[in-house]
Amino acid sequence: VTVFHLAANSLLGPSAYDPLSYFKNNTAKTIELLDFLPENTKLVFASTAAVYEEAASIKTEDSKLSPPNNYGLSKLWCEQAIDACYKIKKIKATSFRFFNVIGANNDTGQLKGTPHIVNKLCEAAATEQSFKIYGDDWNTRDGTCVRDYLHVIDVCRALIHAAQFMDKIDRPIHSKYNLGTQTGTTVLEIVNAFNKVAKPVTTEVVERRKGDPAHLVADPRKFVDETGFGYWYDYKDLETMISSAWLYYNNN
């Protein structure tokens, strides 16, 4: 049996003022799932880069774990619950620490109304409203937050690859891997790329969001080195990722 556990509350802002809903939905329900799983299950779990401490460094899987927000904390507790029971339950698990997932694939993409950066850019362009930038005084190269953006297609491929790779393992295990491109892009750089390949938007600087780290970039080499996974997209394909999301938004 293979279980892909991808469901969660995942927005930083609400996790600051409604933390219990995140602990109930993300952590408690993951514990319920673990209790339910039969022996020899393969579990692929969607964790998050938000488990890492806030620091301007590229994150390896050995970087310090200190979530800056309750969303990250709820996911870290899930990882720790898997750590506590995978041997007892005799399961094989892989936890992926996703960095910022963007893009679409044909008729599959993000739901409208979700407050993720490219989706919000699409909404701003379509409605001719301003795109909100949450602070322009961060300690980064242009004052806006730096993130590592990867294509949703590579995320899906990684999930399947992990499940297949665990077939080669004959013991209980819990592996943790980053998914990212090892390159940081600022919010302003994302806006400029969107303006180039989609439709120009106006911007408005507003107050910072609580729990937002200034810099979050992955070192993705462990998953590649240990399992032989190969990414189809990297940071040079940022405009392609944005274009796919813009096309999906307009077609749906």
The catalytic residues are 71
How many angstroms from the chain centroid is the CA of residue 192?
22
Torsion from C-alpha of 192, 195, 201, 204, nearest 10 degrees: 0
Count helices and strands in the chain by DSSP H and E runs: 9, 12
Q: How many CA atoms lie within 13 A of 175 on its CB side?
A: 20
Output b/e per residue, 57-96; b: 16+ Cβ within 10 A. ebbebebebebbbbbbbbbbbbbebbeebbeebebbbbbb
Give the span between the Cα atoms of 140 and 78, in whole angstroms: 31
How many angstroms from the chain centroid is the CA of residue 191?
19
Residues in the chain: 252
How many angstroms from the chain centroid is the CA of residue 14?
17
Neighbours of 99 (CB within 10 A): 25
Give the span between the Cα atoms of 159 and 201, in whole angstroms: 34
